[in-house]
Amino acid sequence: MVVDEGLQAFGQDPWWVVGLKVLLIFVTLVLLTLFNIWWERRVVARMQHRIGPNVNGPFGLLQSLADGAKLMFKEDIMPKAADKVVFVLAPVLAVIPAFVTFSVIPFGPEVSLFGERTPLQLTDMPMAVLFVMAIASIGIYGIVLGGWSSGSTYSLLGGLRSSAQMISYEVAMGLSLVSVFLYAGSMSTSEIVAAQKDLWFGLVLIPSFLIYVVSMVGETNRAPFDLPEAEGELVGGFHTEYSSIKFALFFLAEYVNMVTVSALATTLFLGGWRAPFWIDEFWAGANEGYWPVLWFFGKVLFFIFGFIWLRGSLPRLRYDQFMALGWKFLIPIALVWTLAVATLRVGRTEGWFSGDNVPVVIGVVVVLLIGLFFIGGGDKETVADYVAAQPQPGAFPTPPMPAGGAVRGAAAPLVFDSPARMTTVAGEEA
């Protein structure tokens, strides 16, 4: 087997260096989770003209730690109808993959760690990005099994919603990464970072970047895509029946997943640990030593702030709107964009864009875009169409009235016969 030269630096560390890296990644993710919870509460409070946590510790920084300690000592309730084994294992299945995915995320270049020369990355492999996608998909099992094992209808519905949502948006997310692989010529995270030395893929592949950003919000079940936890109809979603440390594990998994998708976006689209704004042009040491760790986490926190901003700004979508966004827009656009990028790469190799061929290629692209604009428009549903599609009195789901009209004094059933008006169905005697 031929070993890629870019991967030779991995797998050579002594055991204590590997153990130290694992410990540092675990501690970093836990501390970052505590900070992100505090930061989210402070930012949303500022958006809503409130104060937020400010009592425990300086600026309230220890509030998240206090909340975690409270959850640790709360009573752990086991529902009577729950499948006890699966009920206990579900939070573990959700939180472990969230930590494992960070094993292939590069934090910086090679550095000297207690006299040992080693890259600031636990490991790497030729299919590292696919490894991240595969491990992240295992977390879906924890959510689905948690909802199913609770023995609650609402929890089951939340788990089913989450499975459909995460699978749907994983498709769009995977398609958005294909163009990155085509440009980088590799699926190794360290080599993708190296390929962005001159120009970030987030600037070259803007459609892929935007599709990934939308998909990562849906993948992590965050507002405005937090449909599995919609309080209006599902109480708390798949973790309604959980309490104490088990609920804390689900909470931890959600925030670690936010960091994971943000770190992956940083690695694939924003140059990874490389200095932003091309600082290295006038500062030679910007991408050396431990400085790249600062650039990396700065970019990650930029995405985390985006999550918080969305939560404080946008209302929750309807479930049908959310699924239509994924299947009718993101996935088709990602497919067309992937085809366009593949054609561009082949064209550069074959010399299609040299000389007199450039105007022809531009003309073909413009014609295709105009055609897609007119063909893909479709007819939009009007208010009259909506009203006509509503059930008529006596039809499902409105039950028929008893013989002889409504019972005197009984409440008349409500029927939505227009988007903005409710009417009652009752006999003249009522």
At residue 417, what are phi and psi to the nearest 5 degrees?
A: -105, 5
Neighbour tally for 410: CB within 10 Å: 10
Number of domains composing the chain: 1
In a domain, 370, yes or no: no
Q: What is the pLDDT of residue 355?
A: 56
**What's the CA gap between 298 and 305, in Å, rounded?**
11
**What's the CA gap between 89 and 93, in Å, rounded?**
6
**What's the CA gap between 415 and 397, in Å, rounded?**
9
Closest to 272 in 3D by CA, of 305, 291, 300, 303: 300
Do 342 and 352 form a contact (C-beta atoms < 8 A)? Answer: no
In a domain, 366, yes or no: no
In a domain, 428, yes or no: no
In a domain, 408, yes or no: no
Q: What is the pLDDT of residue 382?
A: 59
Q: What is the pLDDT of residue 285?
A: 81
Q: Which residues of the chain have pLDDT under 50?
A: 1-4, 376-378, 405-430
| Strand ranges (E), 38-173 | 110-113, 116-119
Do 98 and 257 form a contact (C-beta atoms < 8 A)? Answer: yes
Residues listed for the chain: 430
At residue 235, what are phi and psi to the nearest 5 degrees?
A: 60, -80
In a domain, 389, yes or no: no
**What's the CA gap between 326 and 332, in Å, rounded?**
9
Structural domain span for residue 70: 8-356
In a domain, 417, yes or no: no
At residue 113, what are phi and psi to the nearest 5 degrees?
A: -115, 100
In a domain, 143, yes or no: yes
In a domain, 397, yes or no: no
Partners of 418 in beta bridges: 421
